[in-house]
A and B are shown apart, each in its own frame.
Chain A
Amino acid sequence: MDNNLAGDSPPPPPPPPPPPRPKWRKVAYGGMQIGYDDNYTDETFLEEMVMNANVVRRDLLKVMKDSISISQYLCIVALVVLVWFHTLQSSLDETSLLLLDLSLLALGFLVLLLTEEKMLSLRLLLRYVTNITFFTTGLYVLAPVYQTLTRSISSDSIWAVTVSLLLLHLFLHDYSGSTIRAPGALKSPSLTSCISVNASVVASVFVASRLPSRGHVFAVMLFSLQVFLFAPLVAYCIKKFSFGLHLGFSFALMGLTMYSVYALHRLFFVLFLVLVVVVNVVCPYWLIRMQEYKFEINGPWDEAKLCFDITD
């Protein structure tokens, strides 16, 4: 009824555009955010995730050089087993064994003296000499006990137990350092390295108990214990002193072992060669290949690390 006769009526204004929805906030309070579903995911999703932050990047040559310590120790153990074998077969007699022991002792001492950085005082040297004297006297006194220790046990059991103990010793051995350290060392030995030392000592006792005379028992025990307890320390000192010397020493040992095993039995030689190749070449390559699959995830969901030590 009310017609607008005054003139053309202006067109109705266009409807106002809908208000833009507010920006999405990554918060939990306030209920559902207007204009967004609860499963809305924007580009800030997973932006605080950190991948592979602490992964060590390894180089093939360095890993191979590090694996030489392992094959060096394998050669040392192989040489000990060879000496045992020859003694059991009576190819080595008492006097030559004792000579071997004394020369090894002197050599080891010499290496320690030459490679030790701190000045070895006379007092420390005297302490070492006293310890070694006690050690040797103790072994000599106990030799008759060892000789009759396993008389009632059959040989098969002895060989089986010795082999398993040696394998345990090799698996748990601390290849990076030495369980027996010079006084004042920082890190205390771990449980597995103590177990491995004990395994090797028990293996030597079992083998020594199979020998005919007291002198043999004493010589073999002294030899085995010298090598198992002190060879890692000597090898560690050489490695710390000079890497070239360490390489030379390892290759010399490997050559000596290969020659001795070859002289003994062809099959063992082939097996030993394969073992050394696997440890030195195949395993490093395998490790480097597996590194590509490493996927470490860190983010705000991780438990926070306390920056102070908890002293109870």
Chain B
Amino acid sequence: MAEPKLRVLMVSDFFFPNFGGVENHIYYLSQCLLNLGHKVVVMTHAYGNRSGVRYMTGGLKVYYVPWRPFTMQNTFPTVYGTLPIVRTILKRERITVVHGHQAFSTLCHEALMHARTMGYRVVFTDHSLYGFADVGSIHMNKVLQFTLADIDQAICVSHTSKENTVLRSGLAPGKVFMIPNAVDTAMFKPADVRPSSDDVITIVVISRLVYRKGADLLVEVIPEVCRLYPNVRFVVGGDGPKHVRLEEMREKHSLQDRVEMLGAVPHSRVRSVLVTGHIFLNSSLTEAFCIAILEAASCGLLTVSTRVGGVLPDDMVVLAEPDPDDMVRAIEKAISILPSINPEEMHNRMKKLYSWQDVAKRTEIVYDRALKCSNRNLLERLSRFLSCGAWAGKVFCMVMIIDYLLWRLLQLLQPDDDIEEAPDINFCN
């Protein structure tokens, strides 16, 4: 079998069987890279009984490292505890590039640090936006500064995310690549028979019902729109703490027959909920990259959204400020341009605008650039850490020096030649 061109290790705490933006991103990107002929291995922590090595579609090998998560799906941070297992995986699979995902994942930070110590190329992708003012964000940004001080290339999922990451970590903008997420257009197809928009217009909302996703805006907007347009009905999917407020709103305005609450919608059923609607409403207060909008556009729905400029062309989305009056105005405009929307045409356009194959090709370019970066030795790299701060710089240098010494010790105890290399198994048919 032909030697794979690149051998990539994806590291994150967030992977299947969890469902979410980061998990989907890693899975789809890995599948497309496998199709391009590279070798991809994923490393994550054990989920319940799912521990050890598993194989997924296309020969994607996943290492579920037996470390228990301790808070919000994150592994307990032991700084040096993951060094032996990371070294073993890197040597066994003969990895050339390590790709970490999500700043909030402790496993990612630790693995990137160890990979750097052992001389591998590292790439990091950031999926979220963070603030600067509260205690949690300040600490997270410091940790991110440490990881990104010595990185080869970084990837962000939107332009806002790129600006945010550059400010938080002090990285040079030229090192950060903007590669957006994409949507699986084969799965999100419009309905064969479009529901008629003459008598009833259906507006679909699918999101977690939390403050951050603007559930309070929904509570203000839905009664107003129902009052102005007697032929509009709402379908609300998703669950969360603000569920109670939405139920109260339904009771207060007697909208039980016009607002349908579906509860939590599993990912496999999202498409079937979307195709019953004409308009998709997104009211989130902050969003690094909203994949829900792409899924809706791929199913042929017109989108009304806050705060996600630059994701869809202007004729596929109506933007609004996170203010109830402005959102009602945007919904009115959307209802007025609804007759001119053709779902099939929108779906075909989405196929050209976003595809995971394109994301994989662009990521491949980033990997090639990372491989071309010069590999500095320990002393040259330590100078990069000293610029992180008056006290923090010295602490980071100490951490890296100890990591280096531990690595040399491990090389003495278990030499590199003793680690058996795994054979490449060809799954293509």
Q: Do A and B come from one complex?
A: yes
B163 & A45 in contact (Cβ 8 Å cutoff)? yes
By beta carbon, the residue of chain B nearest A310 is B216
| Contact pick for A28, options B158, B216, B286, CB 8 Å | B158
For chain B residues 55-80, which have a beta carbon within 8 Å of chain A?
none
CA A46 to CA B170, docked complex, whole Å: 13
Whether A301 lies near B353 (C-beta < 8 A) is: no
On chain A, the residues within 8 Å of B131 by CB distance are 301-303
Q: Which of A37, A49, A303 contacts B285 (CB 8 A)?
A: A303
With a 10 A CB-CB cut-off, give which of A41, A45, A296 has the most chain B CB atoms: A41
Overall SS of chain B's interface = mixed
Interface residues in B139-198 (C-beta closer than 8 Å to A): 157-161, 163-164, 166-167, 173-180
Name B180's contact: one of A29, A41, A299, A302 (CB within 8 Å). Answer: A29
Closest to A48 in B: B163
- Selected contact of B177 from candidates A38, A49, A304, A310, CB within 8 Å: A38
CA distance A307 to B362 in the complex (A): 40
**Could you tell me the distance between the alpha carbons of A255 and B95 in the complex, rounded to whole angstroms?**
77
**Contacting residues of chain A (287-312) with chain B, CB-CB under 8 angstroms:** 296-297, 299-304, 306-308, 310, 312
Distance to closest chain B CB from A179 (angstroms): 28
| Contact A28–B178 (Cβ < 8 Å) | yes
Q: How far is the CA of A303 from the CA of B159 in the complex (A)?
A: 16
Expressed in whole angstroms, the Cα–Cα distance for A37 and B322 within the complex equals 33
Shortest CB-to-CB span from B304 to chain A, Å, is 16
**Are B312 and A29 in contact, CB atoms less than 8 angstroms apart?**
yes
A255-312: which have CB < 8 Å to B?
A: 296-297, 299-304, 306-308, 310, 312
B353 touches A30 (CB 8 A): yes
CB distance from A73 to the nearest CB of B (A): 30
Partner of B311, one of A28, A37, A302, A306: A28
A153 within 8 A of B: no
Which residue of chain A is the closest to B369 with respect to CB atoms?
A39
B261 within 8 A of A: no
Q: Tell me, yes or no, whether A1 is within 8 Å of chain B by CB.
A: no
- Per the 8 Å Cβ criterion, residues 113-134 of B in contact with A are 129-133
Closest to A309 in B: B216
Partner among B133, B217, B245 whose Cβ is within 8 Å of the Cβ of A306? B217
Contact B322 A304 (CB under 8 A): yes
Bound: A39/B171 CA distance, A: 12
B residues near A32, Cβ cutoff 8 Å: 358, 362
Q: In this assembly, does A27 line the interface, its C-beta being within 8 Å of a C-beta of chain B? A: yes
Would you call B179 and A38 a contact (CB within 8 A)?
yes
Nearest opposing residue in chain B for A41, CB measure: B173
Say whether A187 faces chain B, with CB atoms less than 8 Å apart: no
Q: Tell whether, in the assembled complex, residue B358 and residue A304 are in contact, meaning their CB atoms are under 8 Å apart.
A: no
Q: A22-66: which have CB < 8 Å to B?
A: 26-32, 37-39, 41, 45-46, 48-49
B14 within 8 A of A: no
List B contacts of A48 (CB < 8 A).
Answer: 163
**Does residue B310 face the partner (Cβ distance < 8 Å to A)?**
yes
Contact status A29-B353, CB under 8 Å? yes
CB distance from A56 to the nearest CB of B (A): 15
Question: Are A26 and B365 closer than 8 Å at their CB atoms?
Answer: no
Distance of A29 Cα from B310 Cα, bound (Å)? 7
B133 touches A296 (CB 8 A): yes
Our pick among B220, B324, B358 for the contact of A31 (Cβ within 8 Å) is B358
- CB closest residue in chain A, given B131: A302
Complex Cα spacing A297 to B175, Å: 22
**A31: which B residues are within 8 A, CB to CB?**
353, 355, 358, 362
Chain A residue with minimal CB distance to B310? Answer: A27
Chain B residues with CB under 8 A of A30:
352-353
| B159 touching A26, Cβ below 8 Å | yes
Is the pair A38, B362 in contact by a Cβ cutoff of 8 Å? Answer: yes
Complex-state Cα separation, A312 to B249, whole angstroms: 11
Near A by CB (< 8 A), chain B positions 351-365 give 352-355, 358, 362, 365
Q: For the complex, is B212 an interface residue (Cβ under 8 Å from A)?
A: yes
How far in angstroms is the closest Cβ of chain A from B383?
24
Give the distance in Å from the alpha carbon of A297 to the alpha carbon of B138 in the complex.
12
Tell whether, in the assembled complex, residue B160 and residue A301 are in contact, meaning their CB atoms are under 8 Å apart: yes
Asked if A301 meets B365 with Cβ closer than 8 Å, knowing A28-B158, A28-B159, the reply is no
The reply to whether A38 and B285 contact each other, CB–CB distance below 8 Å, is: no
Q: Which residue of A lies closest to B294 (CB)?
A: A29
Contact B285 A300 (CB under 8 A): no
A304 B220 Cβ-Cβ under 8 A? no
Which listed residue, A39, A46, A301, A304, touches B174 by the CB 8 Å rule? A39
| Closest chain A CB from B363 CB (angstroms) | 9
Partner of A303, one of B163, B216, B286: B286
**A304: which of B163, B289, B307 is its contact (CB, 8 Å)?**
B307
**Distance in angstroms between the alpha carbons of A310 and B216 in the assembled complex:** 7
The docked-state distance in angstroms from the alpha carbon of A29 to that of B158 is: 10
Q: Is B296 an interface residue (CB 8 A)?
A: no
Contacting residues of chain B (256-287) with chain A, CB-CB under 8 angstroms: 285-286
A296 surroundings in chain B (CB, below 8 A): 132-133
| Sample of 13 more A-B contacts, CB < 8 Å, known A307-B323, A310-B216 | A31-B362, A38-B177, A38-B179, A39-B175, A39-B177, A41-B173, A45-B173, A297-B132, A297-B167, A301-B131, A304-B285, A304-B307, A312-B245
26 A-B interface contacts by CB (under 8 A): A26-B159, A27-B310, A27-B311, A27-B313, A28-B157, A28-B158, A28-B178, A28-B310, A29-B311, A31-B355, A38-B362, A39-B175, A46-B167, A297-B132, A297-B167, A299-B160, A300-B163, A300-B307, A301-B163, A301-B286, A303-B131, A303-B285, A304-B286, A306-B217, A306-B322, A310-B216
The 8 A-B pairs with the shortest beta carbon distances in the complex, nearest first, are: A28-B180, A304-B322, A38-B177, A41-B173, A29-B353, A301-B164, A303-B286, A304-B285
